Amino acid sequence: MSSASIRAAAARVVAAVATEGRTLEDAFAQLGLPAPDRPAVQSLAWGCVRGYLRLQALFALMADRPGRRVDPEVISLVLLGLHQLEEGRTPPHAAVAETVEAARLMGHARATGFINALLRRFQRERATLVESLPAGLATRLGYPAWLVERVESDWPARAESILAAGNQHPPMWLRVNRQRIDPCDYAARLAAAGHEALPWASAPEALRLVRPVDVAELPGFAEGEVSVQDAAAQLAARLLSPPIGARVLDACAAPGGKACHLLELAGNGIDLLALDIDPQRCRRVEDNFARLGLQGRVSAGDLLNPGAWWDGRHFDSILLDVPCSGSGVIRRHPDIKLLRRPGDLEGLAARQRNMLRAAWSMLRTGGRLLYATCSMFRVENQAVLSAFLAATPDAVESSESARLRIPGQLPAVAGPDPGFNLLPGEADTDGFYYACLERRA
């Protein structure tokens, strides 16, 4: 693909997210691009969506077309050009000329003069235009106002750092399969292949690549020696720590990273059922089990309708990684800024409460449940757990003792409320919340 074709493809992805409400992954997959062209298109589209709201504010300052509708693809092209001009990795003349050419390729030849004029004006007046943007974190960091207000309310002393972390390019973390190779030995294999990787003491199987690469370049990937998984997500297996022989439920398993890690650490010595409501996503879990040589069971089913899949035998350990707002993984999924709405949170919290009650009914006395989200919002985390503990006499929080199973100095944030957070970017990881419960007689 030419540079202009790459921009055209990225503009289509951005427009689909902004106007059709599609996720970046879905819009990108619909393009059906050949493998060599995917990284460039993906980098452009994800970068533009990451800064979309700020770039849109700049566009509004310059467009000055009251009452005239601008085609969403044209807007996306302008925002892509502004993104490249601000990022500075592309020579300015190329950022302008190739964006104009992309408009022609997309059938927007009549808009080329408009696009050219806006981008050249931004080159000339950049400092003045940036100073004219509305003040405040929302515009400066490119977030919807409601999301900024929620983070400021929940994390008043850390709000700006949390939001800034969400704008960073995410690193590529690996999880080494101890059933196939020792993490130190795998790090040496990476080094021999020219890939520098750094460990993290709190997640002994984790390695962070200094430079992200395609999984095809990872030695032993096809053979099951390694998987891609953020280090914060790798904490779940050790926090739950099911004993050998335990009957384990991963209640929202797809794509299967945490279930695989549990089986790897146990050497396939646990009876694990990976459950997910989506049959297609269940196939991804099965594929991961097969690649890694793991012996887990997979079932498509709804946790809230156990009669369709549960045999009635209680579980010793349950991992409940509930669907959530994803506010802790915005750096990986920047479309959350455009797709999530403030009204979503109460609906998510209600479902989370229902799922927690359902999972608890399947846990044996003496068993352990780990509740997890990749959210930073207390309504999905501490509020859910506090209400559940108040209404459930046989539930005892054991998050603090569970943390002792994590080696190293974990930069966790805990308070008087249940569970603890790992904030986005604190250890160059995603943001997560964990709470461990035990069922007492």
Q: Report, as an integer, the average pLDDT of 211-218.
A: 94
pLDDT at 383 over 60: yes
Q: Comparing 415 with 291, which gets the higher pLDDT?
A: 291
Is the pLDDT confidence value at 41 over 70? yes
Confidence at residue 89, expressed as pLDDT on a 0 to 100 scale = 82
Residue 189 lies in a domain: no
- What percent of the chain stands above pLDDT 90? 95
In a domain, 284, yes or no: yes
Whether 164 is covered by a domain: the verdict is no
Region 220-248: mean pLDDT is 97
Residue 63 has pLDDT above 90, yes or no: no
Q: Are residues 117 and 239 in the same domain?
A: no
Residues 251 and 106 in one domain: no
| Percent of the chain scoring above 70 in pLDDT | 99
Q: What is the mean pLDDT of residues 129-157?
A: 95
Residue 115 has pLDDT above 90, yes or no: yes
Residues 118 and 246 placed together within one structural domain of the fold: no
pLDDT of residue 105: 96
Q: Are 277 and 401 within one domain?
A: yes
**Mean pLDDT for all residues in the chain:** 96
Query: Does a structural domain hold residue 432?
Result: yes
How many domains does one find in the chain?
A: 2
pLDDT over 60 (residue 67): no
Per-residue confidence (pLDDT) for residue 1, from 0 to 100 = 86
Q: Are residues 409 and 273 in the same domain?
A: yes
pLDDT in tens, 339-380: 999 999 999 999 999 999 999 999 999 999 999 999 999 999
Q: Confidence class of residue 69 from pLDDT cuts 50, 70 and 90?
A: confident
In the predicted model, is pLDDT for residue 425 greater than 60?
yes
Does residue 223 fall inside a structural domain?
no
Of the three residues 85, 101, 133, the one that is the final residue of a domain is 133
- For residues 221-237, give the mean pLDDT: 98
pLDDT mean over 23-52 = 95
Mean pLDDT value across residues 289-305: 97
Looking at residue 174, what is its pLDDT?
Answer: 98
Residue 58 lies in a domain: yes
Residue 90 pLDDT class (50, 70, 90 cuts): confident
Lowest mean pLDDT among 84-98, 191-205, 278-292: 84-98
Concerning whether 374 is annotated as a catalytic residue, the answer is yes
pLDDT band at 143 (very low <50, low <70, confident <90, very high): very high
- pLDDT tens sequence across 191-203: 999 999 999 999 9
> Can you give the pTM of this predicted structure?
0.94
Point out the domain boundary residue: 101, 133, 165.
133
| Domain extent for 77 | 3-133
Q: Which of 48, 260, 324, 374 is catalytic?
A: 374
Answer yes or no: is 276 within a domain: yes
Q: Which of 83-97, 196-210, 286-300, 301-315 has the lowest mean pLDDT?
A: 83-97
- CATH number, domain of 313, equals 3.40.50.150
Q: Does position 56 have pLDDT exceeding 80, yes or no?
A: yes
- Domain containing 61 — which CATH number? 1.10.940.10
pLDDT of residue 58: 95
CA distance linking residue 245 with residue 267, whole number of Å: 11
pLDDT score of 88: 80
pLDDT at residue 270, rounded to an integer: 98
Mean pLDDT score, 283-287: 97
- HSE, side-chain direction, 13 A CA sphere, residue 106: 28
| Domain termination site, one of 67, 100, 133 | 133
* Model confidence band, residue 66 (pLDDT cutoffs 50, 70, 90): low
In a domain, 274, yes or no: yes
Mean pLDDT, range 268-275, rounded to an integer? 97
